[in-house]
Structure 1
Amino acid sequence: MRWTARMKKALTVAPAVAMTVVSMVLTLGVVVMWLGQAMPWPVALVVGLGLDGGWLATLAYERRLAAQGDHSRAVTAVGWCFGLMATGVLVTHALTAAGSVGAWLAVSWLPVAAKALWLVHGLWERTALTPDALAAIAEIQQEARDGAAVARARLRAEATTEETRLTAVTQAGARVARVQAQTAATLSQAWSTLEKTRAGEDTAHALTCVTAPVTPASRPRWELPVWGPVEPVAALDAPQLDDTDLDRIVAHILSAQTPPPSYRELAARFRSAGHTAAEVRLRSSWKRLTAASTTG
């Protein structure tokens, strides 16, 4: 693990080292060629080595401070001064060279480029992480991706389940609605038939033939059935009421409420009070008393 880390660090610092070596060699050669015409070449060599040595010394100081986690603006400024001096020497030589100005200008930027590479390498070192930290970050990211994938799968499954449930409920509701509509249509048709039969003249004649008329002009009529909730039926052994007692109980119920209750409310109160009577008798009593009260 440590060997791998060192190899990676060496690979990242290799471009800066190579650029620095090329810049120093180029600067030394230019100084010897440029000053060798005006002074002995050993003196020019010493001048070139001094320039490169100063640049290398400031670079070493910067690297030592960076390894300690420190930084010195003065050392950095001196290093940039050496780099700019080397660049100035190369530019001046390029401008004074005969027939090869473009070629020397093309390489005169190498000292500044080497300095910039060391700056980039320093930024990389300050942001570099250990292999353990990188492995922990990769594990955290993988866990986050796994959690997100599981959450997306769970949401898709819940959405599919909810869609299936809603489809089933909708279909069941549609079936119930169709059955209710058919039942309502059947009941409506049967009710219309009953009403039509009840209102017909032939029905009145038929009832007159099979029942004893009260008066010569009587036209017996039968009532339509009342649709509603099923009422609990009293016990069969309950005492039977005669017409007088039945009328008295119905009159009491009618007088207890203003306006008088409908037949359905009266029947419910009558049976909840524990009384029993046939539906035909109870309705006849209600009609007699309501008609009497209306006439009176």
Structure 2
Amino acid sequence: MNKKQLATVLPAVAMTAVSMVLTVIVVVMWLGDSMPWGVALVVGLGLDGGWLATLAYERRLAAQGDHSTPVTVVGWGFGAVATGVLVAHALGEESPGAWLAVAWLPLAAKALWLVHGLWERTALTPNALNSIRDIQQDARDRAAVARAQLRAEAGTEETRLTAVTEAGARVARVQARTAGNLAGAWSELEAARQGDGTARALTSVTVPVTPASQPTWELPVWGAVESLAALEAAPVLTDEDLDRIVGELLSSSTPPP
């Protein structure tokens, strides 16, 4: 019997012994006036003997992994009778408080034996307990590793998102500045195109088509581009053709050669 078993069985044994002694004393005191004290002692010992017999039988069945409801009922009956004897004796005394304070001991002893039996049915061997501890420790280790991995992944993801956000912000700022510069340049070009001095400045370097026309110069505009048709291939001239064309140029008077 190991230490854990002693922790549950010793209180049950001690309370059972005290209850039996009290039961014998009360029976002898109670029946001593009406019968010889020896007979009263036998009655008290018989009550305790029945209780011990049922308790021993219950312990034997528990050791075999079995259980008997009738034996349990009889055991609780003996405990109830012992408690009833103590309570009846206490009520007949002038100061029943002290006897009533110990009247519950038989039932308490029976309850302790019940607790010990439950502990025995649920007790595990040292090897099983070691295996359970190993499993629990392994589960705690894996949980700690998983938490550390999640924290590391969260930190990495946070760093990546911060870098991507900063890069996106820089790109957005560059695009904003570029768009502002382009808008300013196009505004200046449009102002120059629509200005009053533009036409006069261009007139001084161009020849008017008609006396009343004011030549204009259109600034280039970005937009859709239309494809032009390909030029037809120039005809191939022979030496006779070239000589004829040169002769006509030399003999012509308008314009003079």
Letter in 1 for 2:163: A
Describe the SS at the equivalent of 1:147: helix
Shift of 1:96: 1.6
Contact 2:61–2:67 under 8 Å retained in 1 = yes
In our comparison, the structure showing a higher alpha carbon Rg is 2
Letter in 1 for 2:104: W
Number of matched pairs: 230
Q: Deviations over 1:221-247 (max 9, x none)?
A: 1322427xxxxxxxxxxxxxxxxxxxx
Are 1:125 and 2:120 an aligned pair? yes
The CA RMSD over aligned residues, in Å, is 1.9
Please, which runs of 5 or more residues in structure 2 have no aligned partner?
Answer: 232-257
Instruction: Tell me how far apart the structure 1 counterparts of residues 210 and 153 of structure 2 sit (CA, whole Å).
Output: 76
Partner of 1:173: 168
Shift of 1:149: 2.0
Identity across the alignment (%): 70
Contact 1:195–1:224 under 8 Å retained in 2 = no
Residue 42 of structure 1 is aligned with which of 38, 41, 44? Answer: 38
Shift of 1:23: 0.3
Contact 1:194–1:224 under 8 Å retained in 2 = no
Describe the SS at the equivalent of 2:220: coil
Instruction: Tell me how far apart the structure 1 counterparts of residues 80 and 200 of structure 2 sit (CA, whole Å).
Output: 131
Partner of 2:253: none
Residue 30 of structure 1 is aligned with which of 26, 31, 38? Answer: 26
Residue 82 of structure 1 is aligned with which of 78, 88, 95? Answer: 78
Instruction: Tell me how far apart the structure 1 counterparts of residues 70 and 214 of structure 2 sit (CA, whole Å).
Output: 131
Contact 2:199–2:214 under 8 Å retained in 1 = no
- For residues 218-257 of structure 1, the aligned pairs below 5 Å read 218-226=214-222
Instruction: Tell me how far apart the structure 2 counterparts of residues 107 and 57 of structure 1 sit (CA, whole Å).
Output: 23
Instruction: Tell me how far apart the structure 2 counterparts of residues 7 and 162 of structure 1 sit (CA, whole Å).
Output: 54
Describe the SS at the equivalent of 1:210: coil
Instruction: Tell me how far apart the structure 2 counterparts of residues 34 and 170 of structure 1 sit (CA, whole Å).
Output: 95
Contact 2:79–2:110 under 8 Å retained in 1 = yes
Are 1:61 and 2:77 an aligned pair? no
Please, which runs of 5 or more residues in structure 1 have no aligned partner?
Answer: 228-262, 277-296
The alignment's TM-score, normalised by the length of structure 1, stands at 0.73
User: Of the two structures, which has the highest relative contact order with CA contacts closer than 8 Å and spacing of 6 or more?
Assistant: 2
Instruction: Tell me how far apart the structure 1 counterparts of residues 21 and 117 of structure 2 sit (CA, whole Å).
Output: 23
Shift of 1:120: 1.5
Contact 2:8–2:112 under 8 Å retained in 1 = no
Contact 2:87–2:99 under 8 Å retained in 1 = yes
Q: Deviations over 1:93-126 (max 9, x none)?
A: 11122x2311111111110111111112111211
